[in-house]
């Protein structure tokens, strides 16, 4: 059998994180330039998964049931009704861990795609998303399903938990032109921690949290309308308002707030954290393509460890 490679992209949540777990909508965008790549090639002695970026090698026959790398392999083989081949799966990723860019879901989708192709099968985007979602439950406890969905489809997605994802084909080209700067705080917090803390807060005071979730949903609706109209100023206002609401949920942190403030001081139209929070990345909306460079420089000066562009 010949070696096979498949990949999957990173993602950002443009608006709606956390509230999406409670039935409100979210908009997520793919980051096609930032990817995880899985390579499957013939080997002997069973199936082995090698992840040199994190210094891990896992033999499928020895792996624990909850090992995420082994889990996506087992789920994929079971879905395809295939036996494990004698093969080596090598996974490499340019997506930083703990940055809220969907690294875990991207690795799962890349492995599922590559393994399916290696055994002569194909997986639909829906199947890849469903398989990765099962692994996401291990990473995040009560994931919304946003990460695996936008990564598997690799298009902008309107997501409401419990409903089929809506691929936003009408804004795919618009989103590709969005002058979005992504800055990493360099602080990593496992997503399940802020997600769990929001759950505890919601259980203590459901009325307050439901009101905040409704307010976030309103900003998501405004963001979608702004995207459709290419109204960057309206989009920026929705992003900043969304961040203020996430601060009230206590899922931001000083590093994220500092970068958001620096972005606005440098002329950004809007700024917000993206993803689980308490670290990871924030988004800043530049005025136009010419503004991206100076905005990026301002974010680096304010402490960003890495800068990406959508």
Burial 95-104 (b: 16+ CB within 10 A, else e): bbebbbbbbb
Q: Is the pLDDT of residue 161 over 90?
A: no
On whether residue 153 sits in a domain, the answer given is: yes
Whether residue 52 is found in the same domain as residue 145: yes
In the prediction, which pLDDT does 140 show? 65
Examine the fold and report which residue of 124, 145, 167 is the final residue of a domain before the chain moves on: 167
On whether residue 204 sits in a domain, the answer given is: yes
On whether residue 224 sits in a domain, the answer given is: yes
Q: pLDDT tens for residues 72-99? A: 999 999 999 999 999 999 999 999 988 8
Whether residue 133 is found in the same domain as residue 82: yes
In the prediction, which pLDDT does 165 show? 83
Query: pLDDT grade, residue 310 (50/70/90)?
Result: confident
Gap between the Cα atoms of 290 and 294, Å rounded? 8
The CATH number of whichever domain residue 103 belongs to comes to: 3.30.230.10
Which residue range is the domain that position 247 belongs to?
Answer: 177-309
Mean pLDDT of the chain: 94
Domain count, the chain: 2
Whether residue 23 is found in the same domain as residue 153: yes
Query: pLDDT grade, residue 141 (50/70/90)?
Result: low
The token pair at 124 is 């639909």
What 3-state DSSP class applies to 200?
A: helix
Query: Would residue 147 show up in a list of annotated catalytic residues for this protein?
Result: yes
The CATH number of whichever domain residue 224 belongs to comes to: 3.30.70.890
On whether residue 253 sits in a domain, the answer given is: yes
Examine the fold and report which residue of 111, 142, 167 is the final residue of a domain before the chain moves on: 167
Whether residue 142 is found in the same domain as residue 223: no
Whether residue 158 is found in the same domain as residue 272: no
In the prediction, which pLDDT does 170 show? 81
Q: Is the pLDDT of residue 136 over 80?
A: yes
On whether residue 172 sits in a domain, the answer given is: no
% pLDDT > 70, the chain: 99
Whether residue 129 is found in the same domain as residue 199: no
Q: pLDDT tens for residues 212-234? A: 999 999 999 999 999 999 999 99
Q: Is the pLDDT of residue 139 over 80?
A: no
Whether residue 43 is found in the same domain as residue 161: yes
Q: Is the pLDDT of residue 137 over 90?
A: no
Q: What is the DSSP string of 233-289?
A: HHHHHHHHHHHHHHHHTT---HHHHHHHHHHHHTT-SEEEEESS-SSSEEEEE-SSG
Gap between the Cα atoms of 148 and 109, Å rounded? 8
| Higher per-residue pLDDT: 258 or 165 | 258
Average pLDDT over residues 12-34: 95
Whether residue 276 is found in the same domain as residue 302: yes
Q: pLDDT tens for residues 261-301? A: 999 999 999 999 999 999 999 999 999 999 999 999 999 99
CB atoms within 10 A of CB 123: 21
Whether residue 186 is found in the same domain as residue 301: yes
Q: Which of 62, 66, 67, 147 is catalytic?
A: 147
């Amino acid at each position: 059998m010949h070696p096979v490679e498949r990949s999957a992209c990173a993602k950002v949540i443009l608006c709606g994180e956390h509230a999406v777990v409670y039935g409100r909508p979210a908009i997520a965008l793919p980051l096609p330039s930032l990817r995880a790549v899985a390579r499957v090639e013939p080997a002997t002695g069973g199936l082995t998964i090698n992840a040199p970026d994190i210094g891990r090698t896992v033999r499928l026959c020895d792996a624990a049931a909850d090992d995420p790398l082994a889990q996506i392999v087992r789920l994929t083989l079971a879905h395809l009704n295939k036996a494990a081949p004698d093969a080596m799966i090598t996974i490499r990723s340019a997506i930083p861990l703990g940055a809220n860019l969907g690294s875990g879901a991207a690795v799962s989708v890349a492995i599922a795609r590559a393994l399916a192709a290696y055994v002569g099968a194909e997986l639909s985007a829906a199947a890849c998303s469903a398989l990765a979602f099962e692994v996401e439950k291990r990473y995040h406890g009560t994931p919304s399903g946003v990460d695996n969905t936008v990564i598997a489809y690799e298009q902008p997605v309107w997501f409401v938990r419990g409903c089929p994802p809506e691929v936003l084909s009408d804004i795919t080209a618009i989103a590709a032109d969005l002058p979005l700067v992504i800055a990493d705080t360099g602080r990593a917090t496992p997503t399940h921690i802020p997600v769990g803390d929001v759950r505890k807060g919601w259980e203590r005071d459901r009325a307050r949290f439901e009101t905040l979730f409704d307010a976030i949903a309103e900003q998501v609706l405004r963001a979608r309308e702004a995207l459709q109209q290419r109204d960057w100023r309206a989009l920026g206002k929705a992003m900043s308002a969304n961040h203020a609401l996430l601060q009230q949920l206590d899922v931001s942190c000083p590093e994220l707030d500092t970068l958001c403030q620096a972005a606005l001081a440098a002329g950004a139209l809007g700024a917000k954290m993206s993803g689980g929070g308490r670290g990871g990345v924030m988004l800043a909306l530049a005025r136009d393509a010419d503004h991206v460079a100076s905005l990026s420089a301002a974010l680096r000066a304010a402490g960003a460890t890495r800068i990406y562009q959508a």
